[in-house]
Structure formats: C-alpha cells, structure tokens
Copies of this chain bind each other. A is one copy, B any other.
Amino acid sequence: MSLRIGQVALRSGVTPRTIRYYEELGLLPASDREQGKHRTYTESDIERLKEVTRLRDLLGLSLDELRSVVVAEAVRADARRRFHASESPDERRAALEDALPHLETQIGLVRRREAELKELENDLVDRRKRVLRALREL
C-alpha cells in the first residue's frame, strides 16, 4: 500500500528529481530508510507535496523561504498524526494547538498576496474606467 517516487511524482505533477531535491532542501520530510533503499510514500504525502507546489506557484517565494512556511506543513502533519494516534484529550489539544499558528501564518501570507493583487487590479480597472470615459466623451 506504499507508493514509490515515480507514482508520487506522476500524481502530484512533478518529477522524481524535484521530489528528491525538495527532500534535500528540507521541504519534504526525509522518511527514514536505509541507505540505497527506495523511498516510500503515502497518500497524505501526495497531498502534502501538492500543497507545497501550490504554495510555490502562488506565493512569490524562493524554495528556501518556502521552507519556513512548509516546515509548518510538517508540524501540522505531525500534529494530525499525534492527534489521531492519541486518545488523551490533553495530547489531542496540544496537537491542535500546535497546528493552529502555522495555519494562521499561511493564511496571512496568502491574504497579503491577495491584497497586493487586488490593489493592482484596482489600478488597472481605474485606468480602464478613464479610457472608457474618454471614449464616451468623444
């Protein structure tokens, strides 16, 4: 039931090279395996990778900068795991409270970007308005 790098690559729209590179950069977790053995992944690894590429494409960050955002992803994923692994309400609460600030960070970044784009849009729409007005006045 475990996936290998080729399948993961295909299903997340990247190449195996990219996956290894991201692992090297710390963008993806280096699942512990003995030297030379094949990397194995799960469905949730695919989701995670898709998230990373989405953030990469939509925020204007270098992979290095992205790492700090995505280490957050790792923490969140780990928090999820801990949440489901445990029955103790205290541990579950702790897991959730770990995940939350990273979500906030990501939401914040996305919103800032949205705001910048909205500003640009407004500028462009303003200009169009002026052009249209000028056309009507001829």
Residues of A within 8 A of B (CB): 54-55, 57-58, 60, 83, 89, 92-93, 96-97, 99-100, 103-104, 106-107, 110-111, 113-114, 116-118, 120-121, 124-125, 127-128, 131-132, 134-135, 138
Contacts and interface: CB of A to CB of B under 8 A. Distances in A.
A110 B117 contact: yes
A55 B117 CA distance: 9
A134 B96 contact: yes
Given A60-B57, A96-B134, A135-B97, A103 B89 contact: no
B99 A125 contact: no
Given A58-B60, A58-B120, A114-B118, 13 more contacts: A58-B113, A83-B134, A89-B138, A93-B138, A97-B135, A100-B128, A103-B127, A107-B121, A110-B117, A110-B121, A110-B124, A114-B117, A117-B117
